[in-house]
């Protein structure tokens, strides 16, 4: 669908995004703040961080995250500069979070997309949010390096909350939120030997909280479906208009349009009544999928899959298959993120066991956490392999994911 396609294109080019007409992100996205939406604090945090630009204190943040040459500025001096931005994120985390433009109707979203000046991108704040996530990475580094593990753990949880909260917008919001979470999972894995028992308990409790909630991917897909429903009439009317000048278009342009919208290949052969029937069937499919969505995501992760249109229905397949396939590809990411929260919880339980008994458990059974050791993705248990004073922990995954560790590993 066009809205999703535009957003996916935007996600590939996020590094060059800017707010519109020199406005702050808060002004561009919200206009008049309500004080009741944590997204407003997230935007203010992004504006605060962006205002630093290439100042030495911000380069110090980037340098430590990206491995550049060690800057002369001390950790404390650098932290003082970006702490106000991260405190704004923490304030936003304490409020309900709504993604402003994604809660608008299709007509408003369409007007928003077409109002963006050429060369700029929708949802420009998402690149800035990624920078906020990197500032959290640096804060975690500094706090753990100075032995303040409780504060460092709080920073990890605050950043995970931030990433989780922004995922319920479009699928582009979802993937940016996943990237922020993945960076924090890496921070956790790097510091497994440093967490105190209380730190580990905090990570366990947070993972439990997230896993009790419906996956954010469900709400991102629900918003995509809502825009697909509104886009239905627009798409079919546009196809009707194209037919009047179809033969006048250059062949290469026709082929490009048919590749992007396979239904166009079948349109000239259909009667007007046939096109109307297809349009109604497409609408019915989206509405039924919307009704089925919550049930799909209540299943174990191994069964998360959006149903496609009937294979024998060629027009419906042409209209829907590419979109449903793209959304199903994004489910792989959702499965991996959900599994990593389960792994983080299990790592936290192992750390607490080690503090209590001064050794690693011989097997996961010793944790006495039957629910936590179960892996819904495989139907079995997570794999725990001891190696003298260390261990490996992972999910066997499935054909699509392969093994899943707390952080990505090329195997």
Residue 352 pLDDT exceeds 60: yes
Mean pLDDT of 90-112: 73
Q: Which of 117-126, 185-194, 211-220 has the lowest mean pLDDT?
A: 117-126
Q: Which of 141-150, 203-212, 261-270, 393-402 has the lowest mean pLDDT?
A: 261-270
For residues 182 and 239, the model is more confident at: 182
The per-residue pLDDT for range 223-249, each reduced to its tens digit, is 889 888 888 888 888 888 888 888 888
For residues 117 and 125, the model is more confident at: 125
Mean pLDDT of 65-69: 44
Q: Which residue has the tokens 């790592």?
A: 347
pLDDT of residue 272: 87
Query: What is the C-alpha separation between 169 and 224, in angstroms, rounded?
Result: 9
Q: Which of 102-116, 152-166, 319-333, 367-381 has the lowest mean pLDDT?
A: 102-116
Helices then strands, counting H and E runs in the chain, come out as 16, 4
Q: Residue 302's closest CA among 408, 397, 202, 201?
A: 397
Angle at 43 between CA 26 and CA 103, to 5 degrees: 80
Q: Which of 99-108, 148-157, 228-237 has the lowest mean pLDDT?
A: 99-108
pLDDT of residue 7: 42
For residues 355 and 79, the model is more confident at: 355
User: Mean pLDDT for the chain?
Assistant: 84
Residue 37 pLDDT exceeds 80: yes
pLDDT of residue 110: 52
**Please, is 359 exposed, middle or buried when counting C-beta atoms within 10 Å of its C-beta (0-12, 13-18, 19+)?**
exposed
Label the pairing between strands 383-387 and 380-381.
unpaired
For residues 290 and 408, the model is more confident at: 290
Per-residue confidence band for 364, with pLDDT thresholds at 50, 70 and 90: very high
Query: What is the C-alpha separation between 343 and 185, in angstroms, rounded?
Result: 10
Mean pLDDT of 218-225: 92
Residue 345 pLDDT exceeds 90: yes
pLDDT of residue 257: 84
Per-residue confidence band for 142, with pLDDT thresholds at 50, 70 and 90: confident
Label the pairing between strands 383-387 and 390-394.
antiparallel
pLDDT of residue 54: 52
Q: Do residues 123 and 192 make contact, with C-beta atoms less than 8 angstroms apart?
A: no
pLDDT of residue 389: 82
For residues 297 and 60, the model is more confident at: 297
Q: Which of 166-180, 266-280, 338-352, 391-405 has the lowest mean pLDDT?
A: 266-280
For residues 132 and 13, the model is more confident at: 132
Mean pLDDT of 237-266: 84
Query: What is the C-alpha separation between 65 and 74, in angstroms, rounded?
Result: 15
Q: Calculate what percentage of the chain has a pLDDT beyond 70.
A: 82
Domain coordinates of the chain in residue numbers?
7-194, 220-332
pLDDT of residue 82: 82
Q: Residue 3's closest CA among 162, 123, 83?
A: 123
Angle of the 2-12 helix axis to the 216-244 helix axis, nearest 10: 110
pLDDT of residue 76: 53
Residue 274 is given by DSSP the state: H
Strand pairing partners for 267?
none
pLDDT of residue 245: 83
Mean pLDDT of 275-284: 92
Mean pLDDT of 55-76: 47
Mean pLDDT of 392-405: 94
Q: Which residue has the tokens 């690149």?
A: 127
pLDDT of residue 77: 56
Mean pLDDT of 87-100: 94
pLDDT of residue 121: 55
Residue 299 is given by DSSP the state: S
Q: Do residues 162 and 180 make contact, with C-beta atoms less than 8 angstroms apart?
A: yes
pLDDT of residue 79: 58
Q: Do residues 99 and 166 make contact, with C-beta atoms less than 8 angstroms apart?
A: yes
For residues 282 and 2, the model is more confident at: 282
Q: Residue 294's closest CA among 229, 228, 217?
A: 217
């Amino acid at each position: 669908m066009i809205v999703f396609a535009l957003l996916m294109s935007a996600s590939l080019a996020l590094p060059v995004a800017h707010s519109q007409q020199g406005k702050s992100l808060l002004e561009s996205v919200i206009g008049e703040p309500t004080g009741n939406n944590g997204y407003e604090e997230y935007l203010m945090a992004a504006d605060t961080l962006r205002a630093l630009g290439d100042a030495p204190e911000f380069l110090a943040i980037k340098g430590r995250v990206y491995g550049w040459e060690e800057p002369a500025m001390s950790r404390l001096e650098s932290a003082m500069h970006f702490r106000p931005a991260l405190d704004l994120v923490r304030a936003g985390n304490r409020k309900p979070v709504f993604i402003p433009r994604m809660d608008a109707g299709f007509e408003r979203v369409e007007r928003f997309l077409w109002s963006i000046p050429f060369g700029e991108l929708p949802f420009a704040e998402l690149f800035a949010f990624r920078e906020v996530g990197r500032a959290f990475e640096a804060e975690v580094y500094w706090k753990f390096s100075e032995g303040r593990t409780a504060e460092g753990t709080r920073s990890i949880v605050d950043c995970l909350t931030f990433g989780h909260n922004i995922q319920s917008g479009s699928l582009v919001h979802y993937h940016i939120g996943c990237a922020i979470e993945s960076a924090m999972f890496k921070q956790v894995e790097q510091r497994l030997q440093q967490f105190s028992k209380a730190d580990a308990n905090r990570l366990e409790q947070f993972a439990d909280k997230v896993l009790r909630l419906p996956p954010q991917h469900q709400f991102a897909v629900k918003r995509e479906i809502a825009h697909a429903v509104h886009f239905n009439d627009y798409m079919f009317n546009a196809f009707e208009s194209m037919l009047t000048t179809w033969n006048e278009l250059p062949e290469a342009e026709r082929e490009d349009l048919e590749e992007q919208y396979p239904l166009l290949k079948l349109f000239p052969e259909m009667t007007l009544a046939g096109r109307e029937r297809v349009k109604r069937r497409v609408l019915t499919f989206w509405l039924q999928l919307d009704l089925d969505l919550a049930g799909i995501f209540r299943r174990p992760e191994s069964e998360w899959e959006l149903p496609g249109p009937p294979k024998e229905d060629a027009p419906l397949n042409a209209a829907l298959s590419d979109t449903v396939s793209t959304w199903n590809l994004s489910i792989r990411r959702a499965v991996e993120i959900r599994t990593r929260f389960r792994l983080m919880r299990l790592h936290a339980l192992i750390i607490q066991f080690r503090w209590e008994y001064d050794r690693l458990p011989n097997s996961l059974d010793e944790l006495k956490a039957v629910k936590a050791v179960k892996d819904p993705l495989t139907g079995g248990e997570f794999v725990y392999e001891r190696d003298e004073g260390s261990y490996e922990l992972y999910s066997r995954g499935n054909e699509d994911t392969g093994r899943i560790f707390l952080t990505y590993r090329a195997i």
